[in-house]
Amino acid sequence: MAASISLSIDSDLDKVSLVARAVRSLCTDVLGADELDAVELSLVEAINNVIKHGYHGESGKDVQVSVALQPGQVVIEIIDHAPPMPAQVLEKDSEDPFAFDETDLANIPEGGMGLALIHMNMDEVEYHSGEAENRLRMVKRVSPSPT
Amino acid sequence: MLSTDQRGNILVVQVEEKRIDASKAPIFKDEMTRCIEGGQNQIVLDLSRVDFIDSSGLGALVSCLKRLGPRGSLAVAGATGAVSRLFTLTRMDRVFALHPNVEAAVEQLSA
């Protein structure tokens, strides 16, 4: 089985849950419950980043999501036309936001967690910036069922 | 998006939305801040109706905890599925006391 679909929303935070719920439904035949949670969270974080940082919260811009259901995996691409993410933001090895000291209340993070969550939840994450668009490609593979 | 129930010195706050995401986090934070500034400092947050929280929602919870300060308590009750998973994944389960239900959380805070 291989099938793909494109969805698009206006760059409005109120619309993100619509596309998240749609993509979750699309993936139910391929993925298990934990994997669906992982995909939904990663998708929401990625779109929030595009709207908040790429488009600076401005509505009326385009956010496209393409979903490809392939044997054993789901490939999701988020396409936007905002200025590209700065390279240093993408450094996977940059600080782990969750390595905080829980006894130090002031330094528990309130933000900056989105990209780290995407990397933790997806099997592959790639970002491409072209002349016309940015494309974040994320792959979630079906984990072998426990025997 | 919140409803409250005072039990002695403990305020039980139920989140009535199914999602605390980037679009709802600011309202959540405002309503919680109003409770805290009204003098509540022992709070049980009932998440049993919530099925999704993103990092913005989680950040709003952390912000409330900071506002409560070291003498206040914010216990979380009824987190399941993706919500419970997010707390574990982000290690926020070390920051917030997680309880299976409101009764267990109230009992813990009263002890």
Confidence (pLDDT) at A87: 77
**Structural domain range at position B97:** 2-110
The pLDDT profile of chain B, 111 residues, written as one tens digit per residue, is 999 999 999 999 999 999 999 999 999 999 999 999 999 999 999 999 999 999 999 999 999 999 999 889 999 999 999 999 999 999 999 999 999 999 999 999 998
Domain ranges of chain A: 3-141
Amino acid A49: pLDDT: 96
DSSP string, chain A: --EEEEEEEES-GGGHHHHHHHHHHHHTTTS-HHHHHHHHHHHHHHHHHIIIIISTT-SS-EEEEEEEEETTEEEEEEEE-SPPPPHHHH-TTS--TT---TT-GGGS-SSS-HHHHHHHH-SEEEEEE-SS-EEEEEEEEPPPPP-
pLDDT digits (tens, 9 = 90+) for A85-131: 887 777 765 678 999 999 999 999 999 999 999 999 999 999 999 88
A14–B52 CB contact, under 8 Å: no
pLDDT of res. B111 = 84
- Which residues on chain B are in Cβ contact (under 8 Å) with A110? 59-60, 62-63, 66
- CATH superfamily ID and name for A3-141: Histidine kinase-like ATPase, C-terminal domain (3.30.565.10)
Prediction ipTM score: 0.94
**pLDDT beyond 60 at A147:** no
* pLDDT for A75 beyond 80: yes
Mutate to test the interface with B, among A11, A36, A43, A44 (most CBs of B within 10 A): A44
User: From the list B58, B59, B66, which residue is nearest A105 (CB)?
Assistant: B66
- Residue of A21, A100, A108, A122 to mutate, interface with B, max B Cβ within 10 Å: A108
Count: domains in chain B: 1
Which residues in chain A are contacts of B58 at CB distance < 8 A? 113
Give residue A146's pLDDT band: very low, low, confident or very high (50, 70, 90). Answer: low
Q: Do A48 and B54 touch (CB under 8 A)?
A: yes
